[in-house]
With several copies, the nearest count.
Chain A
């Protein structure tokens, strides 16, 4: 019997498959389809200090093998999350990761302090949402990322993960996050992209730019995981176009410790479950006891 377990910093997951933030709500919707305890972890929708109504519709646009979204972090705010959603999430039987976003580094500290007392296993610092207007989002920024992590680090003893954007100072931001105390890096959030509705001649989204996700971006995300793996110490969590167990294996071979599934959940509500089963079979058929042997194997000469 191979072990699917993975270690992310101080945290042990039963397998490397997680639901990605913002694509799995607070876990209740997919509970209707399958027993969520089969997953390694779920990342909750990103929450902010105060409730946000998010961006005006339309918020979605389909592209070739991809999805543009401009949700804009609609969420009920940290307080409601902790009081109303988290207790229900806890019953799902798997590791719960809170995801937080703020305008200023200090917001992350305040949010982390609030989560610190709550029953979650880790906190993902989302410094990479492309859909929050007017905040001057310009991709990964080392200085800002360091400030955010330091602020959160001072406010909690829980494991901190940092979710980076796939453009800008990616490597510098990764190193800065690690230096400031991140236990893991999630690579990456959606890519900034856009669409124009040719029937109106206008950008589809009020914000113009939106985030591109789905299979289309897989080769781009894989590149970043591969490039960062030899350069950072902390575990990498891959995100970007991962929809099959083969995709997951590809990212693990590039160096990822675990994977997050976002858009895949929309393509098939059982996507993550099927992935866990596929990975188990993969290890069995290859006669591998654990992930160590193949993690990062694409780097070996």
Chain B
């Protein structure tokens, strides 16, 4: 039985929440597990491909994405206005699975996108670590969900400790850690977690065409051979995908 639908959903909100970062809310009844994503398009034939976007938040009436404007596709998304239609399909991919015990969610910049819905679904005991280059944003929504929210700004910002998120974070004492963000951050977290022998799950990004596992375009090398980020991931155990990155 077909289970995935390609739908058009109207824009209920599309608001700049930080410089170049938008919150897009689409009306409709959707389901998604933490860490899953959708393929989105809001244009005709060019750009050719849909864009993968993690589920940021979900309610019985709407599905929300948090996205940074990077290139043409996200610039077009940023132009969307109330009532405009977005075509999307999902939820796609293998998200994160909760491990019992106290866990840590670590996000670097846009990497926080998949963490909100995850925090909501996973629940306490859970701590959140967020790192930003400049001024933090979207931090408040995490406060009521996490036991502790640690925020760092690389260059410093009013009311925010200056530093790297990895300086605020230590894996010790966590049953597992879940991270999304730039590759160097993920590698450093991997190093720390390996040392502390705490399992780390990372959400990866690769260029995608189909988003569903059919084209083999989004492959990453893993300990057990090539895997598709879109359907075998985007979440992988860090040890599976960073096997060759360690000294």
Contacts and interface: CB of A to CB of B under 8 A. Distances in A.
* A contacting B, Cβ–Cβ less than 8 Å: yes
B206 A71 contact: no
B219 A215 contact: no
Interface stretch (A61-69, A94-102, A111-119, A140-148): A61-69
A66 B50 CA distance: 13
B31 to A, nearest CB: 14
A270 B226 CA distance: 27
Contact of B4 (A64, A71, A269): A269
Contacts of B4: 32-33, 269
A34 B2 contact: yes
Interface stretch (B16-24, B40-48, B177-185): B40-48
A29 interface: yes
B212 interface: yes
A79 to B, nearest CB: 16
Nearest to A268: B6
B217 interface: yes
A33 B216 contact: no
B207 A58 contact: yes
A33 B6 contact: yes
Contacts, number: 107
B75 interface: no
A263 B208 CA distance: 12
Given A57-B219, A62-B49, A65-B48, A266 B210 contact: yes
Interface string A25-47: 10001111111000000000100
A59 B218 CA distance: 7
B215 interface: yes
B209 A60 contact: yes
A77 interface: no
B231 interface: yes
B214 interface: yes
Main secondary structure of the interface of B (DSSP, over half): loop
B216 A74 contact: yes
B158 interface: no
A263 B206 contact: no
Contacts of B217: 59-60, 69, 71
A53 B225 contact: yes
Given A58-B206, A64-B45, A263-B48, A30 B214 contact: yes
B171 interface: no
Contacts of B226: 53-54, 74
Contacts of A34: 2
B92 to A, nearest CB: 9
A130 interface: no
Contact of A65 (B2, B3, B46, B231): B46
B33 to A, nearest CB: 15
Given A25-B216, A32-B2, A32-B3, 19 more contacts: A23-B210, A30-B212, A32-B212, A33-B212, A45-B216, A56-B221, A57-B206, A57-B207, A57-B219, A57-B220, A59-B217, A60-B208, A65-B46, A69-B209, A71-B215, A263-B48, A269-B4, A269-B89, A269-B210
9 contacts: A25-B213, A25-B215, A33-B2, A33-B5, A33-B212, A57-B207, A57-B219, A57-B220, A69-B209
Interface of A: 22-25, 29-35, 45, 53-54, 56-67, 69, 71, 74, 214-215, 263, 265-270
